[in-house]
């Protein structure tokens, strides 16, 4: 039986016990010599660490644990150039996320270390959360709950000018059509909505079933609800600003559960205050945690959650399973699903 010296650098979401169980179940004929490090996320927020982003500040822990390690699995471990320098025997690194933002991939590649991620692990959770945000914003659920908490019975909110809107018959625009966007589209179609999609990889002449592929300007102009599902890149950063919001239907709803950098939040609050936007819902923000004094905290008709769209038990379990499948492929000499290449 082959023995693989393996570092499990889990945390309080994708835990080491979960990772070990996934590996040993998928690879019963492989002997794993485990070293374990438990990182503090999500009890301690992640941030930038040296040249990588969205990582736990744990370089020293990893440096101490990596000598002799061939295989490493993590979610939030900061695999910086400095950390990789301490891993001369490392050959395969699995990052249990949609993309390895916390890994210096060029530095790993230079050292002969293959890097894989677990794309799609949170697609179900994130899609369901996006739909929940839409519904909460359309029906103003936080405001309604607060009336009860304040001891009020606001039956007057049944009035035409104060009540919400339905998804059935609405036009919903999805900016981004990856694993999450596709799931949201299916749910929207089931609700009876018309679904418009923007994604550079889609051909307008061959739209996915039931959807319409349009230009961003047309999507913004026609949609009652706009939901962002694009990756944050140099091309998409700040893609929705004051000028874009001004072209939207007056009273439309804007939802962002992708990345805070896609959207100008000051312009969004301005639009909420003017009535250009009827409501907005966010799971992601330009600065996390949201700083005290942020205009978002006092804006009207806003639904907010603290970057928890992917937080389900099934997401963590799926991350472990996909990671184990990647390890099985690597050990068999095949390219793993989620292999990152430069």
User: Which residues are annotated as catalytic?
Assistant: 259, 288, 307
Reference 5, options 23, 41, 29, 31; nearest CA is: 31
Q: Is the dihedral of CA 314, 71, 58, 262 positive or negative?
A: negative
Compute CA distances 293 → 85, 181, 267, whole Å. Answer: 41, 32, 16
What is the signed CA dihedral for 285, 258, 234, 200, rounded to 10 degrees? -150
With H, G, I as helix, E, B as strand and everything else as coil, classify residue 34: strand
With H, G, I as helix, E, B as strand and everything else as coil, classify residue 313: helix
**For residues 148 and 319, what is the distance between their CA atoms, to the nearest angstrom?**
39
Distance of CA 142 to the CA centre of its chain: 23
């Amino acid at each position: 039986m082959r023995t693989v010296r393996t570092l499990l650098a889990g945390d309080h979401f994708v835990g080491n016990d979960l990772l070990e169980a996934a590996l040993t179940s998928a690879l019963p004929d492989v002997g794993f010599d485990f070293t374990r490090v438990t990182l503090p996320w999500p009890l301690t927020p992640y941030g930038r660490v040296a040249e990588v982003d969205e990582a736990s500040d744990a370089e020293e822990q990893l440096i101490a644990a990596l000598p002799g390690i061939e295989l490493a699995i993590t979610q939030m471990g900061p695999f910086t150039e400095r950390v990789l320098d301490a891993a001369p025997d490392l050959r395969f690194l699995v990052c249990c996320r949609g993309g390895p933002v916390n890994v210096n991939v060029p530095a790993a590649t230079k050292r002969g270390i293959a890097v894989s991620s677990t794309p799609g692990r949170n697609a179900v959770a994130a899609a369901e959360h996006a739909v929940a945000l839409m519904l909460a914003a359309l029906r103003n659920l936080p405001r309604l709950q607060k009336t009860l908490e304040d001891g009020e019975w606001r039956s007057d909110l049944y009035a035409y000018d104060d009540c919400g809107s339905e998804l059935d018959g609405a036009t919903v625009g999805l900016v981004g059509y990856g694993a999450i966007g596709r799931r949201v589209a299916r749910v929207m179609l089931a609700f009876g909505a018309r679904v418009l999609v923007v994604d550079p990889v889609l051909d307008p002449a061959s739209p996915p079933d039931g959807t319409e592929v349009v230009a961003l300007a047309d999507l913004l102009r026609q949609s009652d609800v706009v939901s962002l599902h694009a990756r944050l890149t140099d091309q998409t950063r700040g893609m929705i600003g004051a000028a874009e919001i001004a072209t939207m239907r007056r009273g439309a709803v804007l939802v962002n559960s992708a990345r805070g950098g896609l959207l100008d939040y000051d312009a969004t609050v301005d639009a909420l205050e003017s009535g250009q936007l009827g409501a907005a819902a966010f799971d992601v923000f330009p600065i996390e945690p949201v700083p005290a004094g942020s205009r978002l905290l006092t804006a009207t008709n806003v639904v907010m959650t603290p970057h928890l769209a992917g937080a389900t038990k099934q997401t963590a379990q799926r991350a472990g399973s996909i990671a184990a499948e990647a390890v099985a492929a690597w050990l068999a000499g095949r390219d793993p699903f989620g292999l990152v290449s430069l």
